[in-house]
Amino acid sequence: MKHYDCVVIGTGPAGQKGAIQAAKLGKSVAIVEKNKVLGGAQINTGTIPSKALREAVLQLTTGHRRGIYGTSKHVKEQVTIADLVSFSQRVIRHEWEIIRDQFERNNVDLHWGHAQFVGPNEVAIEGPDGEERITADRFLLGVGTRPARPENVPFNGQTIFTSDAVMKLDHLPKTMIVVGGGVIGTEYACIMATLGVQVTLIEGRNKVLGFLDQEICDAFQYFIRQRGITLRLGEKVEAIREVDCNSSSGQNGSVCRLVEAKLESGKIIHAGTLLYAVGRQGVCKQLGLDKVGIEFDDRERLQVNEHYQTNVDHVYAAGDVIGFPSLASTSMEQGRRAICHAFGCSEGNYNTSLFPYGIYAVPEISMVGKTEEQLTAEGIPYESGVANYREIARGQLLGDELGMLKMLIHQETHKLLGVHVIGTGATELIHIGQAVMALDGDAEFFVNNVFNFPTLAECYKVAAYNGLNKLNNVYSGSCQPVAVSC
Amino acid sequence: MKHYDCVVIGTGPAGQKGAIQAAKLGKSVAIVEKNKVLGGAQINTGTIPSKALREAVLQLTTGHRRGIYGTSKHVKEQVTIADLVSFSQRVIRHEWEIIRDQFERNNVDLHWGHAQFVGPNEVAIEGPDGEERITADRFLLGVGTRPARPENVPFNGQTIFTSDAVMKLDHLPKTMIVVGGGVIGTEYACIMATLGVQVTLIEGRNKVLGFLDQEICDAFQYFIRQRGITLRLGEKVEAIREVDCNSSSGQNGSVCRLVEAKLESGKIIHAGTLLYAVGRQGVCKQLGLDKVGIEFDDRERLQVNEHYQTNVDHVYAAGDVIGFPSLASTSMEQGRRAICHAFGCSEGNYNTSLFPYGIYAVPEISMVGKTEEQLTAEGIPYESGVANYREIARGQLLGDELGMLKMLIHQETHKLLGVHVIGTGATELIHIGQAVMALDGDAEFFVNNVFNFPTLAECYKVAAYNGLNKLNNVYSGSCQPVAVSC
């Protein structure tokens, strides 16, 4: 029975980065993958496929929306879901190769199969060629989650499905109900709406993406409604079923089927398809965690301390299985830090309050630092500075009339407290503000800085002027207050 | 005769920002524009139109190159230059409105006409309604430049033209000779090549864009050759003339005309069109500068000191008329600083060595700080860290196989000495590195930072790991060396 310094379960972002980190520390490492492919939800069902689909859809529709092609014919009708998916498959295959190559170069032993603890330091791996047992001093669980599939939802994979099945759709539906206004539900709702699908998005709370700054959330909800998405906020789904078209709409045709969602408020909603995107569920029951004494909650998720340790010291967990924020970017960092702690070396001094959040909806959203609501609750005095993309030459060139960047500035120190961006390139743009926050810069930095023209980065200058001008009229007699584009 | 605190000549970026700055300081300001439209070359003939054309061309071609549309029909043939130009005209009109609105809100008096000094503090403005005279205490000359038009080049505006005429082309030529591998020549050469025009680019020096880092320049020259551009480096044009097709190529057809460029090396090159983009020329002769005692050089450009003062104290100059770098971004800052100095207030403490350079070629290029060649010449010890877009998930999603980011790291302090980017979004991406340089961060910052996934910003992390790993193997036993994607 082979013994390792470290065994990692799951090859998603948390497992990958953890395994490589351990190898770089000179440890012997094994990693176990129960699916037929590497990369977990990030590469196979979640992050990458949805971003690839989004990228293809935007490419497809943007030029036309902007009228760049003049009166030439619209190509959209010529595109099938198969085209879009084939593009994404190429990206996915490339990512598989990168991961496999990383494991090989770093001598990480890759085991295919389903791992289950059989003792505190031993796992049995049920693979294609039978069972194998390995032991280790330390474990990292990066087992991810799967979409929750409540028993009262009649999933069929074709008209009623979870996010894992979206990429397998063989045609574009005309109408879709999306249940759940979290990151996954919202991103797919936007992609589908951009493709011309009539979407109804149902969310139990009174807004989608509840962690966003309210102003950004309001703007986002306004934009997606403008794009034709119907929002049903503060509504819960009571029952979902398939019905005949004629029983619901009075149309004839015996093979015609629709999905019907009945809301607690009594409303009945019909659509061709329904994407169920409420909650994700751990897969801890399959891991034999009772053999180690590790506890999990009713959604099979693990609780960890600030070092990503479970209630059993030598077993760590990272990524989706430990809950919010469940983003690939943060999962990677969690995996790396868990291993650093496990082998007693420094985790670096990174401030987790500067984790960025990126939402690949249409429009794109990103944030770093605090929201206005958080600052108000914490009694921190701030002013906001706003730049609209439409004021910026680059925004005009991109045809982005909606985008905005908001920075929150401490009223006294003028330090940045948060940056919130909605619009093209938001997830990239946020990193300028993040660097300035991390390196203790203030809003004046942007005023004095020279930005390439034309760029969206200029928004930082305009927003800083806007905020500083509101903050103190002392500026109006000095050299600083020249608004760049407004 | 109306008297002002400040008269600004020219409404390009330098003049605009100078005038608004003076107004914000509470000064009475007039601005004079000799063309029929506001904004100078930035908005009307240079920056914006070429970037708009580039944007349209990329939109048009990118999706197809990447195969996102599967086997669906190529739309390119359906697009006319008129479509592309109409898109750009909308952006230009919008910029006019923004500038006019800015002037109005800040009470800047706008005078249309040609300004000429008639005394040290007095200009005569020859406008559509006759002559008008105004006086001022201070002047800012932001008069810009126009393309040089040597007498021995037979310009005709249709087959032999300067960059000012590109947007007026009524059809896409099949072949084009571009003379001059500076920013303007290179940008148009790339745009035309992307549209399928066979381009030959002739540059007197042995590389295009001479100020670039050599590695980036090499990569760029490789990429554009791959795209079908023929580079003739270290070659000078001796004579340019129009010839009949049959006299040159033996084809028949009496109305067929070609452009012929004869190089000093003896080579003869033919093409349907020729863009002459060597040098730009000031317009100072028209300004009556002898009445003030201001000198200009043989290309009619002005020399200024570090405060943007000409040899006559109360007259400042900024923008293209003072020479390199002649970018809209730097011209704005020059205009603002000139006025700050003119009225005796602080110019801010911005370090001009952190001016970014953005080249909107295909691929895009941007840089901040020093090149490898500069550092070597100055005896500053450095290491380089490189990230290739193709290693980054976002690069894969964008289909950008060429892009790369290089950071130059001080061997001892690990401070950033320069960042060089070639590829999609380079001009935006550079600002993350610029902020870190300005705020005195080091390469470790990127290693510890969490970036949104998938973004191009992740290149900073990969490049930092690459550079730091080369610098010291001390890392290989610590927690820091996990390469993110490579």
Report whether CATH 3.30.390.30 matches the domain B363-471: yes
* Chain B residues close to A48, C-beta within 8 Å: 393, 397, 454
Query: pLDDT per residue over A141-195, tens digit each?
Result: 999 999 999 999 999 999 999 998 888 887 888 999 999 999 999 999 999 999 8
Of B80, B83, B453, the CB nearest to A327: B453
How many C-beta neighbours within 10 Å does residue B123 have? 26
Say if B160-276 and B363-471 have the same CATH topology: no
Contact check, Cβ <8 Å, A448/B348: yes
Measure CB to CB from residue A98 to each of B63, B455, B485 and give the nearest one.
Answer: B485
Q: What percent of chain A is predicted at pLDDT more than 90?
A: 70
Q: What is the mean pLDDT of residues A110-132?
A: 96
pLDDT, tens digit, for every residue of A199-255? 999 999 999 999 999 999 999 999 999 999 999 999 999 999 999 886 555 455 456
Pick the CATH number of A160-276 from 2.40.30.170, 3.50.50.60, 3.40.50.200, 3.40.800.20: 3.50.50.60
Query: Which among B6, B16, B68 is the top mutation candidate for probing chain A, defined by the most A β-carbons within 10 Å of its own β-carbon?
Result: B68
What pTM does this model have? 0.90
Residue A384 has pLDDT above 60, yes or no: yes
Contact yes or no for B317/B310 (Cβ under 8 A): yes
- Report the DSSP beta bridge partners of residue B271: B259
Q: How far is it, in rounded angstroms, from Cα A180 to Cα A323? A: 17
Q: Across the interface, which of B20, B349, B452 has its CB nearest the CB of A329? A: B452
C-beta atoms of B358 and A455 within 8 A = yes
Q: Which residue has the tokens 């009619």?
A: B300
Q: Cβ contact (<8 Å) for B60 and A63? A: yes
Residue B63 to residue A66, Cβ atoms within 8 A: no
Q: How many angstroms separate the CA atoms of B328 and B21, rounded?
A: 16
Across A250-277, average pLDDT: 87
Contacts of A75 in chain B (CB under 8 A): 69, 72-73, 75
Residues of B in contact with A21 (CB under 8 A): 479, 482
pLDDT value, residue B66:
54
Cβ of A482 and B17 within 8 Å? yes
Model pLDDT, residue A168: 81
Whether the CB-CB separation of A46 and A362 falls below 8 Å is answered with no
Query: What residue of B is the nearest CA neighbor of A393?
Result: B95
Q: Would you call A350 and B24 a contact, using CB atoms and an 8 Å cutoff?
A: no
Q: What pLDDT is recorded for position A66?
A: 54
> To the nearest whole number, what is the mean pLDDT of chain B?
89
Task: Check: CB of residue A443 under 8 Å from CB of residue A414.
Answer: yes
Please calculate the CA angle A61-A64-A65 and round it to the nearest 5 degrees.
80
A175 and A258 Cβ atoms separated by less than 8 Å? no
Q: What is the pLDDT of residues B32-84, one digit of tens each?
A: 999 998 988 878 888 888 888 898 888 777 655 555 544 444 444 556 666 77
Model pLDDT for residues B333-360, shown as the tens digit of each residue: 999 999 999 999 876 666 778 999 999 9
The DSSP annotation for A398-445 comes to HT-SS-EEEEEEETTT-BEEEEEEESTTHHHHHHHHHHHHHTT-BHHH
B404: three-class secondary structure by DSSP? strand
Q: Where are the beta strands (DSSP E) in B327-461?
A: 357-359, 365-369, 382-388, 404-410, 416-422
Instruction: Identify all chain A residues contacting B453, using CB atoms and an 8 Å cutoff.
Output: 13, 42, 47, 327-329, 332, 358
Cβ-defined contact of B439 to A434 (cutoff 8 Å)? no
Query: In angstroms, what separates the C-alpha of A130 from chain B's closest C-alpha?
Result: 32
Task: Tell me which fold the domain A2-147+281-352 belongs to.
Answer: FAD/NAD(P)-binding domain (3.50.50)
Q: Among residues B3, B1, B19, B16, which one has the least CA distance to residue B343? A: B19
Place of tokens 């401030």: A351
Query: Hey, how many other C-beta atoms are within 10 angstroms of the C-beta on A126?
Result: 12
The DSSP H or E segment spanning A139 is strand A130-141
Cβ–Cβ below 8 Å for B449 and A429: no
So what's the pLDDT on residue A483? 39
State whether B63 and A63 contact (CB < 8 Å).
yes
Residue with tokens 């949104």: B452
Q: Do A441 and B449 touch (CB under 8 A)?
A: no
pLDDT above 70: residue B208:
yes
- The contacts of residue A77 (CB under 8 Å, 6+ apart) are none
B57 CA to chain A: closest CA distance, Å?
A: 9
Q: Which chain B residue lies closest to A57 (C-alpha atoms)? A: B68
Q: Is the pLDDT of residue A404 over 90?
A: yes
Give the pLDDT confidence of A39-87 residue by residue, as tens digits. Answer: 888 788 888 888 888 988 887 776 555 555 444 444 445 566 667 777 7
Residues B266-306: tens digit of each pLDDT: 999 999 999 999 988 899 999 999 999 999 998 999 999 99
- Please state, in angstroms and rounded to a whole number, the distance separating the CA atoms of residues B15 and A289: 70
Tell me the shortest Cα–Cα distance from B446 to chain A, in angstroms: 9
pLDDT greater than 50 at residue A481: no
Query: Does the pLDDT at position B422 exceed 80?
Result: yes
3-state secondary structure of B107: coil
B422 vs A58, more confident = B422
Q: What pLDDT band is residue A341 in, cutting at 50, 70 and 90?
A: very high
Q: Where are the domains of chain A?
A: 2-147+281-352, 160-276, 363-471
A109-125 exposure pattern, b = at least 16 Cβ within 10 A, e = fewer: bbbbbbbbbeeebbbbb
CA distance A265 to chain B (A): 38
User: Helix B13-24 to helix B81-105 angle, to the nearest 10 degrees?
Assistant: 20
